[in-house]
Structure formats: C-alpha cells, structure tokens
Chains A and B, each alone.
Chain A
Amino acid sequence: MVALEAVLTATIQQVILVYTSLAVSITLGIPLAVVALNSHKLEKIIITFANLVQAIPTFAVVAIVVPLMGIGFWPAIFAIMLRALLPIVKNTWIGLSSVDPASIDAATGLGLTRWQTTRFIRFPHAYPPMFAGIKFAAILANSVAILTAIIGSGGLGTLVFEGLAGINITTMLAGALPAIFIAIFLDVSFTRLEYRLTAGR
C-alpha cells in the first residue's frame, strides 16, 4: 500500500509544477505572439525557434536541463516550459494574425490605434485558438511534469516510477489516477475561463 500522505504530497507538488510552468509559459507566450505579429523578422525567429524546441524529444529536453541548471524544482519548470510554450505562442499568433483584413481596415478607419486594434479586434478573435493552445499546453505540462520526477522535481512521477521499478500496480495507479484527474480539471477550468471571457461580448 502507498501511504495516503505520500500521494497527497506528490499531488500537491504536481499541481504546483503544472500551474507554475503554465503561468510562466502564458506570461511569456502571449507577449511573444504579439511581438511576432508586429515584426516580420521577429515572427520568423520566434516561430522557427518554437518549432525547433518542440522537435527535441521530451526526454532529451528533461535531460539537457540537468548540466545547465542541475536538478529540482526550477530546472523542471524550465523543461516543462520549453514544451508548453509552442502551442501557446503558435495558436495565439495564428488567432491574432488570421483576423479578416477588412475588420482591421474598419478599425483603423474608426481611428483605433495599433494597440487598440490588437486589444479590441484581434484578441477577441484569437480567444478560441489561444485557449485551445493553452489547454493543450496544460495537458502537455501535466504529462511532462510526470517525467521530470527523474530530475528530482517531485510530483506524481515519483510514484509512477516507483511503481514501475517494482511492477507495483497500486503504486503506479496512485501516481497515474491523480494525474488523470488533474488533466481533466485543467481542461474544464480553462474551458470555463474561456467561456467567461467570450460570453461578455
């Protein structure tokens, strides 16, 4: 049997890992998408870089971080962020840049500034793809946070790996089931947030 306390601790660690890395990814990702929108040069660099980072296998991302940052919480956050950033940047950028040019022209005609156009025309239009990206990033973050147990991040991965080591189904499930619930919760909560933001329109 796995002690309930151990499962709770691991679950709390998992939630903290996922939300911290997601918060960092969103605060970096959305501004990066806006920057990409406003400069063709930077757009190329940002999108290419995001694609390249995404092409590195997850396991390698986790391992590469160790010689640079060592082990533990922040290296894990960094590794998860590298994984979660692309869907956020790319989807937000796609949403922002695929607005009907006629709407932009109309907004400009009404005298809206570039910032106002982005804020009031482009962003509302970009919410669906942006939230799809964030939700995908959240699920990714949750699964990568399992893997980062191998670099000492704590979280539910510690239980999953311990279960694997002894082929102990109970321990494995004690790690896997809470992870599934967290994934469902992430999806539902971001769907609600999206609904709130768009319902006001």
Chain B
Amino acid sequence: MAAILIFLCVAAGCSETAGSTDIAGPEDTSTIVIGGKPFNEQYILAEMLGLLLEEQGYKTEIKSGMNDITLYEGIKKDQIDVYVEYTGTAYSQLLKLPPLETWDPNVVYTDVVSGLSEDGITVLCRLGFRDDYTIAVRQDWADENSVRTIEDLVPYAGDMVFGSDLVFHEREDGLPRIEEVYGIAFKDVKSMSPTLVYEAIANEQVDAIPPYTTDSRVDLYDLQTLEDPKAALPPYETMIVMRDEIAEIEKITATLLVLEDRIDTETMRSLNAEFDIDKRDARAIARDYLVSEGLISG
C-alpha cells in the first residue's frame, strides 16, 4: 500500500511538472498557441502562422484537429491565441446570425468583425482566398447532360443521391438553403466523413457532393463543380482571428499581416494538393511556400 502511494506521488509529481512545461503553456505569453481544424489547408495555414512567428523569436504551439466550436470556446477562454477562421462559419456557426437574403461577402465580413469583437476576438485580416462550399457532380455525367450550374441540376435531382459531409445537409445555410432557393429536391441524402465523399461519388454510390472550393480532389476525381448563379451558398472568406490581448502586440500583428490578401484560391488549392495527393508534411508545405515568397529565410 505504502509502495503504491509513493509510486503515485512520484508519478503525479513528475507528470505535473513536466505537464506545465510541455503542454499547459497558454499563460506564458512568449508561447503563442495556434489553433487548427482537421482538414488540409487548416494544417498548412496553422504551420504558416507558426513559422512566421518563430522567425520573429516566438515559441509556438499548434493545437490542430479541433472543431469550430472548441476553437471558439478556446479563444474566448484565452486558451487559443490565434487561428484561421472562415467568414461564413463565424457568421452562421459561431455567431448564429440569420442567413442573408443575398450573400454579400463584404456584409458578411463586416457583421463577423463586429460580432466577434463582442467576444474579445479581433479579426486581423483576410488571407485572400475563399473556401466556399460548392456542389460537384461527375465530370462525364455533367458533360453528357451539359450541366454547369446548380439550376441545370434541377430536372435530374429527383433521381440523384446527395452525399453530404457531416453538417452540410443540416445547416440552414447549406443544403436546405439550396433546396429552397432553387426548388431542388434530391432523392436521398447520405452523410459521411468529409474525406469519404470523393470515394463515394467515384464509386457512383452518390451522385452529387459538397466539396470545398480549395479542395484539389475535385480534379483528382474528375468532378465538375457547379456554379451558384443565385448565390444561395454563403461566402467563406479566410481570415486570421486572434484574441484582443494578442492583437495589441504590434510585433505579432505586423508579422502575420504579411499574409493579408497574399494567398489566392488557386494557390491554396495547389498547396492542398501537396497535402492530400502528394501526402507531404503540412509543415514542409508551409515552409516551402513561405520561403518561395521570401517571407522567411530557408
């Protein structure tokens, strides 16, 4: 019994001291905690923020693989310092604002900036690219039936199965919005993990999917993305958000502002291709990009 207790005390003692240096460092202002979500560009962009700050002598810690709500809670509770968010996500998922009649990206952005500021979150800048939801169908089928827009899809939808990620078919700014605006109704909706929708459409288990516009797998799997002439889907402009205390540190804001309007959708798409298709390490992709842009020394 005594042996167990001693063992426990030692084990607990060791792990607590080690824990404070290795993991629980958000109180230490010299370590910047960067958040990230569990998909391609989020891993790459988090590493970019990290590399830029490290170049200025900051210690960084990347908490990747988190979701919209946990990041939002984390930044509100000062446990996350900075991460990359999307205007559309912040608008509907975080701030829970009602969908707009017509989605004007600048209106969404302004509403998001003022909404987040009430939570003590500063929007530093937009990165330049949008990562919207879009609707995609198989290329050969689209050519056969000359389908190029969501409107063209309406007569066929009754026979089509829609393969959704885990949220798109339920979000009021997602599939329900498309159904309302275009008067379209799919035969069935199947939801699955976002990485699986591509396999599903390639294997003809579903007929339409909602890829992100920066996802290179649209090309890899020979898909046709459809235009959204009635602007039913909200804009997802990428932006750097940080908590107010961090935004007051000029050295940090100046360091990260170099990314403002620097990355266009094509660039992000090709960086994502390195992650999804070439299976490269996110940090290596981020470093190569920043070096090629002359933002950090190799």
Q: Which residues of B contact A157 (CB under 8 A)?
A: 65
**A-B contacts, 14 listed (Cβ < 8 Å):** A16-B23, A22-B11, A70-B79, A149-B64, A150-B38, A150-B67, A150-B70, A154-B22, A154-B61, A158-B63, A161-B64, A165-B38, A166-B276, A197-B4
- In the complex formed, the residue of A with least CB distance to B272 is A166
Q: Which residues of B contact A74 (CB under 8 A)?
A: 24
- Give Cα distance in the complex from A201 to B73, angstroms: 52
Q: Residue B296 at the A interface, CB < 8 A?
A: no
Segment touching B, from A23-31, A37-45, A46-54 = A23-31
Is A158 touching B15 in the complex (CB atoms < 8 A)? no
Interface membership of A35, Cβ < 8 A: no
Residue of A3, A13, A24 touching B281 (CB-CB under 8 A)? A3
- Tell me, rounded to whole Å, the shortest Cβ–Cβ distance linking A189 to chain B: 10
Residues of B within 8 A of A26 (CB): 4, 8
A-B pairs with lowest CB-CB distance, top 7:
A152-B63, A161-B65, A70-B77, A20-B15, A23-B12, A73-B24, A71-B74
Q: Which of A1-22 contact B (CB under 8 A)?
A: 1-3, 6, 9, 12-13, 16-17, 19-20, 22
Number of A interface residues at 8 Å Cβ cutoff, please give it.
46
**B35 interface residue, CB < 8 Å from A?**
yes
Q: Are B12 and A24 in contact (CB under 8 A)?
A: yes
| Chain B contacts to A: CB under 8 angstroms | 1, 3-4, 7-8, 11-12, 14-16, 18-19, 22-24, 26, 35, 38-40, 43, 61, 63-67, 69-70, 73-74, 77, 79-80, 195, 275-276, 279, 281-284
Among candidates A1, A2, A154, residue contacting B23 with C-beta atoms closer than 8 Å: A154
Task: Give, as a whole number of angstroms, the nearest-CB distance from B83 to chain A.
Answer: 11
A23 near B15 with CB under 8 A, answer: yes
Starting from the known contacts A16-B22, A150-B65, 9 additional A-B residue pairs (CB-CB under 8 Å) come to A2-B281, A12-B22, A13-B23, A19-B15, A26-B8, A71-B63, A72-B26, A162-B282, A167-B195
A165–B281 alpha-carbon span in the complex (Å): 12
Segment 118-137 of A: residues with Cβ below 8 Å from B: 119, 123
**Least CB separation from B61: chain A residue:** A154
Cα A17 to Cα B16 with chains together (Å) = 10
Contact of A72 with B23 in the complex, beta carbons under 8 Å = yes
Residues of A within 8 A of B35 (CB): 152
Complex interface: chain B residues within 8 A of A73 (CB): 19, 23-24
- A193 at interface (Cβ–Cβ under 8 A)? yes
Chain A residues whose C-beta falls within 8 Å of the C-beta of B61 in the assembled complex: 154
Across the two chains, which residue of chain A brings its CB closest to B277?
A166
Is B70 a contact of A66 with CB atoms below 8 Å? Answer: yes
**Neighbouring A residues of B282 by C-beta, 8 Å:** 162
Q: Is the CB of B70 within 8 A of A16?
A: no
The answer, yes or no, to whether A67 is at the interface (CB within 8 Å) is: yes
Residues of B within 8 A of A197 (CB): 3-4
